[in-house]
Structure 1
Amino acid sequence: IFQDGKTEVVANEGGDRMTPAIVAYTDHDKVVGLPAKQGLYRNASNTICNVKELIGREADSEVVQNAMQNSNVKIICQGAKPFYEVDYKERTHKVSPVSVAAAIFDSLKGT
């Protein structure tokens, strides 16, 4: 925030001034930030990292193709756009990179 002529970084709920841009989808909830990072190894196939590199990219771009090969989360292409395929609330969902980034921003906004 910009307050009293200075920029101040607002601490998250854990007291840290940096929130990992990671979102994990589970059977019950969508988890953002440090809790998602801490559960990365238990729920790797439903935990999205590095989402910012896919925003605005076409499915045939080299960046998307590399992400498809290296990501723990399944990335599929629908039309010309990439989507993550995650298991969330006992169903398979297609999630766009923009909606993942929106979940991160919503979490930050709540803080």
Structure 2
Amino acid sequence: MALGDSFVRVAGTVLAILKTRFELISIEVEEEWTRLLAYLLLSLAGLFCLALTILLAVILIIVLCWESYRIPAMIGLIVFFGLVTLGIAIGVKRSFARKPKMLALTCQEIAKDIDRLTS
């Protein structure tokens, strides 16, 4: 019976470890989702305000330069906004490259569990 009891205890321990790890996965996924949603909402609000600001600034510049420099003013604005867009795209790409790997803590804990169980 001692062998059967040991097996039951080991199985119970393994199931408890799995339950804990799945709870950790659930928490990490939920945190990542919440963070992503917050980024999205803040980005949309910021983009809306930025779009209104840019639209009004462009209209003002074109109205001020209408008589003598309307074509150069429009070309300058196109180039400027193209460069700004390129800068934003590069910044977003770098930000995603530095983002921590999803479920990294869970993977570390599972690796520790495997090490403990095999030694």
Superposition TM-score, scaled by structure 1 size: 0.26
Superposition TM-score, scaled by structure 2 size: 0.25
Structure having the larger proportion of residues in helix: 2
Which has the larger Rg? 2
Structure with the bigger RCO (C-alpha within 8 Å, sep 6+) is: 2
